[in-house]
Amino acid sequence: MNKQKTSSNTILIIEDDKINLETLLQYLQNQQDLSLNLLAATSGEEGIQITEQVHPDLILLDVVMPLGIGGFEVCRILKANNATHDIPIIFMTALTETNNKVKGFRLGGADYITKPVQYEELLARVNTHLLIHKQQEELKTEISRRENLEAAREKTHLLLQQAIKSQANNSPELKRYQTELKHCQTKLETFVHTVANDLKQPLDSLLTLCSSLEQNSSTTMPLLLHAESIQTLQKMRTMGEQAGNVMNFMLFLGELFQDKPAKFALFDTDEIVTTVIEKRLASMIQQYQAKIKLAEIWPSVPGVRLWLEEIWINYISNALKYGGKPPHLELGAAPFPPDFVRFWVRDNGEGITSVEQERLFKPFDLQQLQVKEDGLGLSMVQHLVEKLGGSVGVESTKGKGSLFYFILPAY
What percent of the chain is modeled with pLDDT above 70?
A: 71
Q: How far apart are CA 361 and CA 405, in angstroms?
A: 12
pLDDT value, residue 244: 62
Could you report how far apart the first and last alpha carbons of the chain are, in Å? 50
- Kindly tell me if the per-residue pLDDT of 234 is higher than 60: yes
Residues 124-148: what's their mean pLDDT?
Answer: 83
- Kindly tell me if the per-residue pLDDT of 230 is higher than 70: no
- Kindly tell me if the per-residue pLDDT of 333 is higher than 60: yes
- Kindly tell me if the per-residue pLDDT of 340 is higher than 70: yes
pLDDT value, residue 346: 95
- Kindly tell me if the per-residue pLDDT of 158 is higher than 50: yes
pLDDT value, residue 370: 46
For 127-136, 251-260, 392-401, which range has the lowest pLDDT when averaged over its residues?
251-260
Q: Does residue 124 or residue 249 have the better pLDDT?
A: 124
Residues 130-156: what's their mean pLDDT?
Answer: 80
DSSP-assigned letters across all residues of 282-326: HHHHHHHT-EEEE-S---EEEE-HHHHHHHHHHHHHHHHHHS-SS
Q: Does residue 23 or residue 203 have the better pLDDT?
A: 23
The string of pLDDT tens digits covering residues 32-91 is 777 889 999 999 999 999 999 999 999 999 988 888 899 999 999 999 999 999 899 999
Instruction: Look up the CATH superfamily of 10-140.
Output: Response regulator (3.40.50.2300)
Phi-psi region of 264 (alpha: psi -120 to 50; beta: other; left: phi over 0): beta
- SS3 label, residue 88: coil
CB 119 within 8 A of CB 90: no
- Kindly tell me if the per-residue pLDDT of 169 is higher than 70: no
pLDDT value, residue 398: 85
Task: Find the radius of gyration of the CA atoms of the chain.
Answer: 39
pLDDT value, residue 317: 92
Q: Does residue 132 or residue 262 have the better pLDDT?
A: 132
- Kindly tell me if the per-residue pLDDT of 4 is higher than 60: no
**What are the angstrom distances between the C-alpha of 97 and each of 74, 102, 106, 173?**
20, 9, 15, 84
Residues 239-266: what's their mean pLDDT?
Answer: 64
Q: Does residue 190 or residue 155 have the better pLDDT?
A: 155
- Kindly tell me if the per-residue pLDDT of 229 is higher than 70: no
The string of pLDDT tens digits covering residues 368-391 is 444 444 445 788 888 889 989 999
pLDDT band at 150; cut points 50, 70, 90 = confident
For residue 296, give every residue at least 6 positions away whose Cβ sits within 8 Å of its Cβ, in sequence order, or none.
none
In this prediction the pTM is 0.44
pLDDT value, residue 312: 95
Residues 391-410: what's their mean pLDDT?
Answer: 92
Residues 217-236: what's their mean pLDDT?
Answer: 55
Q: How far apart are CA 131 and CA 88, in angstroms?
A: 11
Q: How far apart are CA 86 and CA 58, in angstroms?
A: 10
- Kindly tell me if the per-residue pLDDT of 2 is higher than 60: no
Mean pLDDT of the chain: 80
Residues 183-211: what's their mean pLDDT?
Answer: 60
Residue 79: Cβ-neighbour burial (10 angstroms; 0-12, 13-18, 19+): middle
Residues 186-205: what's their mean pLDDT?
Answer: 60
Interhelix angle 227-256/172-217, rounded to 10 degrees, is 160
